[in-house]
Structure 1
């Protein structure tokens, strides 16, 4: 699973799955445009990857202009766009009745609209090249209700799954593959804040008996971004330790 000579864009790359994905793609040989809302963390990540292999871009993914900047930066700096990983996302936990409408709209704007904006920004270059891979980071919450996921989060990720399938069918004649990965519970900054009781409860529902690692999701993303998955498109691949087997 190598990406030598290829160029990737990773949104939401400042920490967790996004950061591990950027590092994994870079180790596989890709030059990477790393994105986050704030510049400091992705500048540090770009420096870690190396000046010849990464460029940091900051901005709110809700703004279509940020996605346009990501695509233009890749073309100006490296001359091509081969891979887009839509990892930028957010979750605001609440029940349906006590959820502020603004929270619903914000989660939808980031998780769904941000993904759409980034896809629309890179697709013209991919269509011209008749090649490209898009990997959308979704969630197991898109496929089954979970009390720890707000209704906006699950609904937004379910919409991302549909968008993935729609784009896969629409872009297949242009040689572009579009897939999604649906992680289950993964060790992140957020899960580090869980108390022992809740952690044990979550792990009890994972057949493999543990939380996932961000690096394992990054490896799954690399698979979908590489030629190793050359006959895979329109899939929403579960990477969740068996918590949802469908």
Structure 2
């Protein structure tokens, strides 16, 4: 086990599968103590045991990330288990593919609550403890859809991720003098359960738009999260880092 994140007490939301799970496993591999989160308790229990089998400490909180009580329980669990909160990874999120004219009003509310308001809630619960420590790291999972229009995502998804980018910059500006670094990660096309459902024609279309000619993996994103949580990124603040094989550059 690497000691890059040794002694780092980290919360990772939406970590029972996909990118969040990859981040949690990568953090554990590098020595972090974890509080993982999701809505599937069975999956969380399995991941907790996998992480503990790697020699890392791990607890979990199950609940709707769009509810303030879930954010409160995440912070309380981390403090109770490890006595501090060093890193918060706001990874939990959802997507949908409605055209604007077909978008239900309820979907707009659901998307912003899950993708954006949830990050505000977790930061509200975690930041006071980081201020007491005079140190901390917040990593917000955004998307290239928050920087430019995406043809295959609902408008509310892009708006929620643009909000994450703005939240990241404002928090970074306000909290940096207290030793708290805030950054975002903007993944492009990543190999997930959803991508397994693509037709061969659509997959080829996606590949052709990526200069590296491959999809990203959860590990590609997790490696950037590890870097941002570590002292290797000690002078990086307020950035929204693209992880997309060159599909979108800015």
Q: Using structure 1 for the length normalisation, give the TM-score.
A: 0.98
Count of paired positions: 246
Stretches of structure 2 lacking an aligned partner (at least 5 in a row): none
Q: Distance in 2 between the 1:36 and 1:237 partners?
A: 24
1:236 paired to 2:240: yes
Tell me the CA shift for residue 142 of structure 1: 0.6
Question: Aligned runs of 1:1-246 on 2, under 5 Å?
Answer: 2-50=4-52, 53-246=57-250
Per-residue deviation, 1:70 = 0.3
Query: Aligned equivalents of 2:212 and 2:33: distance in 1?
Result: 34
Taking the aligned partners of 1:90 and 1:208, their CA distance within structure 2 comes to 26
Whole-Å separation in 2 of the counterparts to 1:225 and 1:5:
12
**How far did residue 191 of structure 1 move?**
0.5
| Cα distance in 2, alignment partners of residues 6 and 215 from structure 1 | 19
Q: Distance in 2 between matches of 1:196 and 1:94?
A: 22
Gapped runs of 5+ residues in structure 1?
A: none
Q: For 1:119 and 1:81, how far apart are their aligned partners in 2?
A: 11
Q: 1:42: how far off?
A: 1.1
Q: What SS does the corresponding residue of 1:89 show, helix, strand or coil? A: coil
Structure 1 CA distance for aligned equivalents of residues 196 and 175 of structure 2: 39
| TM-superposition CA deviations, 1:159-207 (whole Å, max 9, x none) | 0000000000010111000000000000001111111100000110001
Question: What is the alpha-carbon distance in structure 1 between the residues aligned to residue 182 and residue 211 of structure 2?
Answer: 28
Shift of 1:234: 0.3
